[in-house]
Amino acid sequence: MKIKVYNICKLWLLILISIFQVACLIEEVEQPASIETGSTFTTVLNIAAVAEETTNPHHGVIGVLHPIGWEYESGTFESTDPETPSGNIILDPDSGRKWLCSEAQYLADSSCVDIDTVIGINDGMDWTFLISDIGDYYGAEAYHEVTLNFNTDNGMNGAYPIGYIITVNTWEMIAWLNDADNAEDGSINMTDTSMNHMVEVSGGTNAEITGYYTPSNFSIRENYPNPFNSKTSIDYILPSESNLSLTIYNIDGSMINNRLIRNHPSGKHTYHFNADGLSTGIYIFSIATNNKREHIKMLYLK
């Protein structure tokens, strides 16, 4: 079952309540109320342009707050404006930095605002930043329907508040998030959020990452079973919370799958790998955190 939630923009200054509302970008979110791990999580966002864009061919930027372990698969966008082409939603190669940072910070490769500080998040959640593959002009009355698909194979069971943030690919747009000054001078709020869209995740026994205790050393264990037929599991141990990269390669060194998990909790964890669709052979599982990297060889036999 999918649920539709309409996003009501905030009324800012009390004396302005009877006059107008700040315009919404995210007008409607349609996503499942529940899902089983291993299913594709599909969400549909209806986004209003709210202001005409005739100067710069903007790319739309979307941040999605989702459970750790989910991976972005694919997405599309369609516009009601006949002059705006449809296209694909792809991973943002800058991970949102162009609109989180000022231009000077970006060019200097220095630190900028942390979105987790600006928008507090729950444990077990992470952001994925996306961008439209086409930048274009559009009219003020245009609406964009964005469909996003996430792979949930490596997610955990639980109830999660999915969140969305929408802006345009312009420097330091996070400063425009729900900014009362926009309402005072009549301008349009060009960064909008829609948070706490709850989804219940179940059935995650074959793809969950589970922590048990806090160890003292970083290590990885041989997968089991090995050789394996389709599915195998790898235990790894983190002594402290870390940014973690989990990567699968074939014997020729070609990357099969990669996942970066920010702020991965410490403890003993299990990663479950499903080789369905791959050829029989040797695969390399690599884990990297900070300046440490370890790997194991796995033999897949159909």
Starting at the edge strand that comes first in sequence, how are the strands of the sheet with 26-32 ordered? Answer: 2-6, 26-32, 40-48, 143-151, 71-79, 87-91, 125-132, 60-67, 158-168, 192-202, 34-36
- State residue 268's pLDDT score: 76
Query: Alpha helices of the chain — where are they, by DSSP H?
Result: 97-100, 103-108, 115-118, 180-185
Cβ neighbours for 65, distance < 8 A, ≥ 6 positions apart:
119, 121, 125, 126, 127, 161, 162, 163, 164, 165, 195
Q: What local confidence, expressed as pLDDT, does residue 103 receive?
A: 85
Mean pLDDT for the chain overall: 77
pLDDT of residue 123: 66
- Residue 168 has a CB neighbour count (10 Å cut-off) of 20
Question: Buried b vs exposed e over 30-60: b needs ≥16 C-beta within 10 Å?
Answer: bbbeebebbbebbbebbbbbbbebeeeebbb
To 5 degrees, how large is the angle CA 220–CA 225–CA 226? 80
Please give the pLDDT value at position 212: 39
What are the two backbone dihedrals, phi and then psi, of residue 94, each rounded to the nearest 5 degrees?
A: -95, 0
According to the model, what pLDDT value does residue 32 have?
93
289 backbone dihedrals φ, ψ, rounded to 5°:
-150, 130
- Which residues of the chain are under the pLDDT cut of 50? 5-23, 180-187, 205-215
Please give the model's pTM, rounded to 2 decimal places.
0.62
Residues 6+ positions from 42 with CB-CB distance below 8 Å: 31, 32, 147, 148, 149, 150
The pLDDT of residue 59: 80
Q: Is the dihedral of CA 154, 158, 159, 161 positive or negative?
A: negative
Domains with residue ranges and CATH for the chain: 2-202 (2.60.40.1510), 219-300 (2.60.40.3080)
Which amino acid, 27?
Answer: E
CA gap 57, 84 in Å, rounded: 10
Give residue 216's pLDDT: 54
CA distance linking residue 9 with residue 183, whole number of Å: 12
β pairing state of 34-36 and 192-202: parallel
Other CB atoms within a 10 A radius of the CB of residue 108 amount to 11
